Copies of this chain bind each other. A is one copy, B any other.
Amino acid sequence: MDMIYLLDLAGTAVFAISGVQVAGQMRMDPFGATVLAAVTAIGGGTIRDAVLDVGPAFWVHDPTYLTVIILTSLLTILFANRSHRMPPILLPLADAAGLALFTVIGTQKALAYGAPGMTAVVMGVITGVAGGIIRDLLASRVPMVLQKDIYATASVLGGVVYTGALALGITEGLAMLLAMTGVFTLRMAAVHWHLRLPIFVLKHHRE
C-alpha cells in the first residue's frame, strides 16, 4: 500500500498546482490560493468520505496531505512567473495521472466499504472530479469537467474497468493498472485530439 499512498500524495500535489493556477488567474493572494489548492486536492475525497459515512475525512488524522498542499502551493507561487519554462505538456500529463489515480482510489474505497459496483463507480467519479468542480465554482466559472473534452467520461470508464476486472477475477493490482491506464490514455487522447462526445441541444424548452 505504500506505493498507493505515495501516488495519492503525488495526485494531491498535482491537483493543488491546478488550484494555484486558477487562483493566479483570479489575482488571489497566497492564502486564497492555498485555500483553492486544498479544495481542489482534497475536496472530492472529502465529499466521498462524508457520503459513505466512513468516519472523519481521510486527511483529518493524517496531516501529510495538508503539508503536501501547503508546500506545493508555496513552491508553485514562488515559481509562478517562471512556469512557462516547463514544457506545456507536463501539466496535462500530471493532471490525467491524478484523475486516473483518484478515480481508482475512490472506487476502491467504496467497494471496501461494501458499496455496490454502480455506487463505487460514482464514488470514483466524485473523488476524481468534484474537487475541480468546486475549484471552478469558487472561481465563478462553469466547471470545466462538465463541458470540455472527455473528462468525467474517462473517470466513469476507469471505475467501470476496475469494478468489472475485479468481478472477472482479475487481481487487484492488475485491475488498478488496467483502469488507470484506461483513464490516462483516454484523457490524454482527448487532450491531444480534442475528443468530445456529441453534445445534445434542447431546441424547445420551457422558460
Which A residues contact B (CB, under 8 angstroms)?
21, 23-33, 35-36, 38, 46, 49-53, 55-57, 59-61, 63, 66-67, 77, 80-81, 83-84, 88, 91-92, 113-119, 122, 125, 133, 137-143, 145-147, 152-153, 156, 196-206
Contact = CB atoms under 8 A, between A and B. Distances in A.
Given A32-B152, A197-B31, A24 B142 contact: no
Contacts of A30: 197-198, 200
Given A35-B146, A60-B115, A66 B200 contact: no
Given A53-B56, A138-B133, A21 B205 contact: yes
Contact of A61 (B36, B119, B197): B119
A89 B81 CA distance: 39
A201 to B, nearest CB: 6
Contacts of A199: 27-29
B206 A91 contact: yes
Number of copies: 3
A29 B205 contact: no
Contact of A205 (B25, B57, B61): B25
Given A46-B51, A122-B66, A156 B31 contact: yes
16 contacts: A24-B200, A27-B147, A32-B147, A35-B125, A38-B122, A49-B53, A50-B50, A50-B51, A53-B53, A53-B55, A59-B119, A63-B119, A66-B118, A66-B119, A80-B201, A80-B202
Contact of A146 (B32, B59, B205): B32
